[in-house]
Structure 1
């Protein structure tokens, strides 16, 4: 093989290696700052999200916009650092949450949650061992949000651990992307 062809082969190989390294770098940057991929470990968001579903969350808008009521978000567990939880935002700073007769009220107005709770009642978890002991009505402090799982009878959420710091929110969920039968925007 001539010297020129060997040099050309090495150059082609080097181009492939550089391309792969750049692609990996871009993927790492996207994963760190733009999108997150999450696997749901529990049934706390049933029937909206199934156990084992894979979710795609976006991180960019959190830089200028706080989560709002109705958003499904991921955040670091206030009780288990390093654990990511997925819940629905029910109320934001300054709003008052109340639980009466199995219903959720925000600022005195009963929420219509039938589309995602399947009519399951929402009771206080303040009497459970280890809970934050929240008493109702409860006003959400500045810099916090109130989150609850859609599976109200099987979810440890703000009723248990209290409000969540907005700064601990890691993404807003865009969609379920796997498995195929569960694919949908959230």
Structure 2
């Protein structure tokens, strides 16, 4: 998740708060940094940015593809596209059930303590599912 977490040359390690209640209460949104189990190695935890939720449409860089996120799934990406293993490079849409928590705050080191920014990369999320629900004819739905 560099540069959002552990910026620099890798000799610092951010200690973060893992908010597990937000996930249980469905209080997460596009752009949040989340903690999830690896789709390939369930014993391994990953930290990624939640880019899209079920029903959303996202662009896939480098492939010129557009993907619709299936029901019960989400799209997660690291903030460094050149080195990140994520939905874009390997996993595709991952089950929402793999998300274990939200990462809202950096606790340590004190010089980096503060809120973790929630944001979406520009131009990647084409259609939010809630947009399609408001006006389905806009997206070719009957």
Measured after TM superposition, the shift of residue 61 of structure 1 is 2.3
- 1:118-160 deviation digits (Å, cap 9, x = unpaired): xxxxx45xxxxxxxxxx82111011111011001111000011
Aligned twin of 1:54: 15
TM-score (norm 1): 0.55
Aligned twin of 1:162: 92
Q: Which has the higher contact order (CA 8 A, sep 6+)?
A: 2
Aligned twin of 1:98: 59
Gaps of 5+ in 2: 117-142
Q: Aligned ranges for residues 113-128 of structure 1 at < 5 Å?
A: 123=62
Gaps of 5+ in 1: 1-44, 101-122, 125-134
* 8 Å CA contact 1:66, 1:166 repeated in 2: no
Measured after TM superposition, the shift of residue 99 of structure 1 is 3.0
SS state of the match for residue 82, structure 2? helix
SS state of the match for residue 181, structure 1? helix
* 8 Å CA contact 1:67, 1:166 repeated in 2: no
* 8 Å CA contact 1:78, 1:164 repeated in 2: yes
Aligned twin of 1:183: 113
Identify if the C-alpha distance between structure 1 residues 157 and 151 changes in structure 2 by more than 3 Å, giving closer, same or farther: same
Q: Aligned ranges for residues 127-166 of structure 1 at < 5 Å?
A: 136-159=65-88, 160-166=90-96
Measured after TM superposition, the shift of residue 66 of structure 1 is 5.5
More helix by share: 1
Report the structure number with the largest CA radius of gyration.
1
More strand by share: 2
* 8 Å CA contact 1:149, 1:157 repeated in 2: yes
Q: Which runs of 4+ in 1 moved over 2 A?
A: none
User: What is the count of residue pairs matched by the alignment?
Assistant: 110
Residue from 30, 33, 42 that aligns with 1:72: 33
* 8 Å CA contact 2:78, 2:86 repeated in 1: yes
